[in-house]
Amino acid sequence: MSESGNWCLIESDPGVFTELIHKFGVSGVQVEELWSLDQEQFQTLNPVYGLIFLFKWTQDDKQPANVVMDSRLDKIFFAKQMINNACATQAILSVLMNITSSDIKLGSTLQEFKDFCASFDATMKGLALSNSEAIRTVHNSFSHQTLFEFDAKKPEKDDDVFHFVSYIPIDGRIYELDGLKEGPIDHGAAGENWTETVRPIIEARMQMYKEGEIHFNLLAMVEDKIQKFNRIISSGAGEDEKQRVRMLLADEESRRARWKMENIRRRHNYLPIIMELLKQLAQRGELGTVYEKAKEKTIQMNQAKAAKKAK
């Protein structure tokens, strides 16, 4: 796998992922962050099309015994990960490309890409993805503005490296799609409620970390709530139910507006004003004091981080 390959790192955030999906031209889905694996939370989000799991990656050269290498690959979109920084978008596409619901429209960009590489093996799909100008352009639209260009470096031994994988039900079975593996991982029958079946699988992965460490994040790809609420309002639901859903719709529209503003701020270039502030501090003779305080705080933070890892 190569380095960044002109793909930026993007934040694991439901507002970022939802806008990314919509920029691809996909309609009918959004992303929600999960704070627990309780069934009550899943029930409020149904239908849940797939899960995206971010975790602290550790080297593991052993391939699972349940990697799919048979004819099922003809029905599963699976691509090897060829670019480090593309793993968030790859995890999103791993879910989107395997959704069979007629309520979800991929849009021309992803549908054409899916059709183009339908006959490719996993490696060729990964190469096609890493070289897709249309997909990379949307991905990089979430890059942070920088004043300086830094050479990409390989992670040091003690650096935290994070990775995304997807979980999705396909033809009655649960598959883990991890672009660093040789193929999809078959976790068995999905059962009547696949989110209940997948819970112990994800919980087992979370339990690999020390108590008190938070090295993972879980997001669900669900039906677009605005689409869902509008459908309920236009249906034959009672007036009390419609009024309740109208309130939920207003809340969701307000949240979307907030997400939009947050994404604008993420992309905004704050460096000119930062440089101007530094110049003003320097002219007033205060820059050295501020620098020393910041340096001291950084040393303390690094010492605390090292002590935590040593436990």
Active site positions, annotated: 87, 163
Measured CA to CA, the distance from residue 128 to residue 116 in angstroms comes to 9
Measured CA to CA, the distance from residue 21 to residue 54 in angstroms comes to 17
Backbone angles phi, psi at 29, to 5 degrees: -135, 160
The H or E element that residue 32 is part of is: strand 29-34
Which residues lie below 8 Å from residue 91, measured CB to CB, with a gap of 6+? 52, 164, 165, 166, 177
Q: At what angle do helices 239-267 and 14-23 cross, to 10 degrees?
A: 90
β-sheet with 162-170: strand ranges across: 29-34, 216-223, 48-56, 162-170, 173-177, 185-189
The H or E element that residue 176 is part of is: strand 173-177
The H or E element that residue 55 is part of is: strand 48-56
Q: Name the token pair of 188.
A: 């068995």
Q: How many other CB atoms are found less than 10 A from the CB of residue 38?
A: 10
Q: Name the token pair of 168.
A: 């999705």
